[in-house]
Amino acid sequence: MKKQLLAIAVSAASVAPMASMAQPEVYGRFDATLQSSEALSQANGSKAAGNENSITSATSAGNTGRYNGSDTGDQWETRSNTSMVGVRGDKELNGGLSAIYQLEMQFSWVDGNTPNFTNRNSFAGLHGEDWGKVFVGRFDSIVKDAEFSVDQFGWTDADIGVLLRNQNRYSNTINYHSPKIGPGIQVKAQVIPGESRQNFDGDDRQTNIAEGYGLSVGMEEGNMYGAIAYESNVETFGNIFTAGQFGQVAPPGTPFLPSQDLDVQTFRVSGGLDDDQFGVGFIWDQTETSGPDNGFDDAKTGWLVSGRFNPTTDLAVKAQYGDSETRFHYFGDADGRSITSATLGADYMLGKQTKLYTFYSMNEVDGTLDGTAGNATFNDVEDDSEFNVLAFGMQHKF
């Protein structure tokens, strides 16, 4: 008996220190839809301007593969959407500091024999209760971070990324998030070093610590949230450019490039209410691209409103609607198109971590390409493309 008690005591003593240590958290979600997609591309009786920039295209493996301008007609398909897995944690250090870290990967598991992993928000840094946190890695842009919970259909083919241009995530970022002050006010800043990237004009390389930067002031208090966010030169057409990266809306074939560097300024205002029974939100964006090249002077704007109502604890009915020119920045002032998006859907919770959902999303392009931007010239090319999706899905978080 004494030997058994001694063994139990030794085991407890060895486990106690481990239990007191901060353990990494493994988290993620599986998300899949069966959906009917209808993509109709029409421009003066043919595909939209040779497929250029019609609505949007997948930016990386594992993306939702949103419409890229091709006239695919009706088709049934499956999507793994933004399924992802990650590990995160923090560790107390001396002097009131904590080490913070996160590695998050998106994967496509519905198609193919091997999941195709891509990097999401992944970083490492330091956190102090009195001064906030500083971290380095790949992270959401300042403008994207100001989205909060406005997007009711995130990570699917009805994501607001179909409508708004400024839903980006950047590599090589240095970030600062202040502690929350007063009524939940928080300041966030992000800079992107040049890392000797080549400019468009080929004359100079980018060497400054803040070739691109962003700043936001946000507020989260109770069920209310809101933010004002600004970015400069962190878009593809800004001073930070890597060959082969053309943003979320790129035409196939030979890429169009301006002959000199452009300045890109992005501004976002967002706000809303998010309660257990209902939620409403809005986003307003403005992006201005300017530079010495012909055809890049006008600012483009976009907006979206959304709402959610929970008639029961398990059921949520959701809707959002918006219109945007920002999606069509590729050909500057020559591009007079805009996209209107309307989505209606519902979620049904099977438990705290699992839900069934459905939505129907209608997206319609209207406008013309007319004029010259850089080395591209258009003669009154009309685009009235459409992209509609009916989806039935399931999501499980862990």
Of 62-71, 76-85, 109-118, the one with minimum mean pLDDT is 62-71
What average pLDDT does this structure show over 106-130? 89
pLDDT, tens digit (0-9, with 9 covering 90-100), for 3-49:
454 444 444 444 444 444 568 999 999 999 999 988 766 544 333 33
pLDDT, tens digit (0-9, with 9 covering 90-100), for 288-316:
877 655 566 778 999 999 999 999 999 99
pLDDT, tens digit (0-9, with 9 covering 90-100), for 48-60:
333 333 333 333 3
Ordered domains of the chain (ranges, CATH) = 30-397 (2.40.160.10)
Give me the DSSP letters along 218-278.
Answer: EEEETTEEEEEEEEES-STTSS---TT---S---SSSPP--SS--EEEEEEEEEEEE-SSE
pLDDT, tens digit (0-9, with 9 covering 90-100), for 168-183:
899 999 999 999 999 9
Residue 378 is predicted with a pLDDT of 78
Phi, psi of 49 (to 5 degrees): 50, 45
Sign of CA dihedral 34, 36, 41, 47: positive
pLDDT at 83 over 50: yes
Cα 138 versus chain centre, distance: 12
Cβ–Cβ under 8 Å, residues 283 and 150: yes
Q: Which residues pair with 280 in a beta bridge?
A: 273, 307
- Cα-Cα end-to-end distance for the chain: 42
pLDDT, tens digit (0-9, with 9 covering 90-100), for 326-350:
887 767 787 888 999 999 999 999 9
Name the band, by pLDDT with cuts 50, 70 and 90, for residue 380. confident
Alpha-carbon gap, residue 135 to 265, rounded angstroms: 24
Give me the DSSP letters along 18-65.
Answer: HHHSPPPEEEEEEEEEEEEEEEE--BTTBSGGGGTTSS----STTS--
- Return the percentage of the chain with pLDDT > 70, whole number: 72
In 3D space, the residue among 143, 145, 144 whose CA is nearest the CA of residue 266 turns out to be 143
pLDDT, tens digit (0-9, with 9 covering 90-100), for 274-283:
999 999 999 9
Q: Which two tokens stand for residue 365?
A: 């392009």
Residue 196 is predicted with a pLDDT of 54
Choose from 80-94, 99-113, 258-272, 329-343 the range with maximum mean pLDDT.
Answer: 80-94
What average pLDDT does this structure show over 105-131? 89
Alpha-carbon gap, residue 266 to 221, rounded angstroms: 26
User: What's the half-sphere exposure (Cβ side, CA atoms, 13 Å) at 249?
Assistant: 26
Residue 373 is predicted with a pLDDT of 66
Name the band, by pLDDT with cuts 50, 70 and 90, for residue 159. very high
